[in-house]
Structure 1
């Protein structure tokens, strides 16, 4: 592999001159620059990104941690983050923590060693060590979706509680009086906020007396939604509608409903949360609470670049509003045609 010394020897210039051409740090005569560039092409020389970053004290690279790369919601967020990074002249290093706090700590150290200029973090569950880990790195950080109380850094999230209210209010407006909820893990704040929204929606409709008996739990996977709905349907008084706290679990719930011989929405209405791209291709297409994923990603990158460039010092928190996207998985209670309102 060619080195900078090989390029200098072939071009008949000093190593310093080659460095100035590669890094654009000083004027080099057109003739000298032409010889260096030709030598680089002839030898196939590739400058060291690490060495250049040491000189410039920046790598033009951002790191991102997500808890589950198999969840389409996170995949869609990553795609939008990467698009925004590319447009700003940055590359993105992605790490999937698989909801393991230990892996999260290891990957943060790896990203720090790669000298990333900033971090976009979706935390993995309840990790008590994470605030100290992030504070110790001293790298500009923006949190997505999941706030960390002890860490003063930027945050972009959706109003999850309001989304739960929207879903429950929609089902109540269709005449459903017994509305169950399949929540996510208890240690995840977004899940608890969505459940709180469901409870608030029940109370708003005068249906909150039996909420404890109508709450089931999953782990945000399709399998857990599938199992939870089967359990719900075995209960003494099955509901006529279910609010599911993410779309993946809702997909599993749809499958369980079909296996049980129920027609959705004629016999059971289902609402999800996230509005992943697959939601509109479900059978039937899934009514869901849509998170503004592209807006979340764009804001996260823009806020991070503000901190990296020194344009802002104080932490900023942005709360975005979700919207209800009504499709064919919800209908009026007792309506044989599943007519929606």
Structure 2
């Protein structure tokens, strides 16, 4: 297996020049070209652990998600990895299962390994766990004033969902979600409510209980609001595509026509696979904004280097 000395010998440069290249320090263009060619010829792979010990910082970024088992989070992970690669970082994907203890363990790992940064979609209080020397970017929920936050305008999304149903003729609207509702979902619900109240629209809120088979609550609600086969709401908005899709299929099971009799709008519009046709109207939450997270991590790393 080739080492740094082999690269220096083949390139005809000093070991120090190779070390500078590996650790991101400047070299003259002609020296840089020789080193790159030697690395390709030797198929040399730098020792990331040794480099981290020397530079006191690895090139890994920890990305903590509550789950990867949804199209939105899967798509978000994909685009963040692409953006991190552009900045020369590698992603360590951590699935916390919305478990506070698992989030703590991932943060402790990030501190110990001296990672380049952390991107988190945590809904727990982790502000005191992250070492001040590690750049962190939060998604959706603000952790503290110390760390930047990337957030969608969830209130405007809920407002827009109700508005679009209204524009398409819906007169009695229903917000569908799962209890307990909080954080971004609460802002989406409030936007929905405010639009309905501003426009004197009748509306109701249906929150399924927080249990594994919560869709049965949707089923019972639909069954209790059918009169002569007609559902008593003509517009449904949900804070996620998942719940909107569940509700849609249950309406169909009760022989309610969608979208002829009931129109439905979800939230996220993430695709399971790239060529997936659009089958559900939704407020689009862009996953490509992952570049903002990566840019902030890179900027924070550079600031620390220059101190």
Identify the TM-score tier after normalising by the shorter chain.
Answer: 0.7 to 0.9
Tell me if 1:215 matches 2:209: no
Give the superposition deviation at 1:73.
0.5
Give the superposition deviation at 1:147.
2.1
CA contact under 8 A between 1:23 and 1:52: conserved in structure 2?
Answer: no
Instruction: List aligned pairs for 1:57-136, cutoff 5 A.
Output: 57-123=56-122, 125=123, 127-128=124-125, 130-134=126-130, 136=131
Tell me if 1:233 matches 2:228: no
CA offset digits 1:52-95 (Å, max 9, x no partner) = 12212332221110111001111111111111111111111110
Out of 166, 169, 174, the residue aligned to residue 168 of structure 2 is 174
Q: TM-score, normalised by structure 1?
A: 0.72
Give the superposition deviation at 1:266.
1.4
CA contact under 8 A between 1:67 and 1:122: conserved in structure 2?
Answer: yes
Give the superposition deviation at 1:231.
3.1
Say if 1:273 and 1:76 are closer, same or farther in 2 by CA, change over 3 A. same
Out of 200, 217, 227, the residue aligned to residue 206 of structure 1 is 200
Instruction: List aligned pairs for 1:1-341, cutoff 5 A.
Output: 21-22=18-19, 24=21, 41=42, 47-123=46-122, 125=123, 127-128=124-125, 130-134=126-130, 136=131, 138-148=133-143, 150-186=144-180, 188-207=182-201, 211=204, 214-217=205-208, 224=214, 226-236=215-225, 238-278=232-272, 281=276, 285-294=279-288, 296-310=289-303
Say if 1:26 and 1:194 are closer, same or farther in 2 by CA, change over 3 A. closer
Matches of 1:184 and 1:191, distance apart in 2: 9
Say if 1:169 and 1:51 are closer, same or farther in 2 by CA, change over 3 A. same
CA contact under 8 A between 1:183 and 1:192: conserved in structure 2?
Answer: no
Matches of 1:304 and 1:45, distance apart in 2: 27
- For the aligned residue pairs, the C-alpha RMSD in angstroms reads 3.6
Say if 1:258 and 1:242 are closer, same or farther in 2 by CA, change over 3 A. same
Matches of 1:143 and 1:289, distance apart in 2: 22
Say if 1:249 and 1:220 are closer, same or farther in 2 by CA, change over 3 A. farther
Matches of 1:303 and 1:160, distance apart in 2: 21
Give the superposition deviation at 1:236.
4.0
SS at match of 1:277: coil
CA contact under 8 A between 2:179 and 2:207: conserved in structure 1?
Answer: no
Q: TM-score, normalised by structure 2?
A: 0.79
Matches of 1:217 and 1:233, distance apart in 2: 12
CA contact under 8 A between 1:227 and 1:256: conserved in structure 2?
Answer: no
SS at match of 2:142: coil
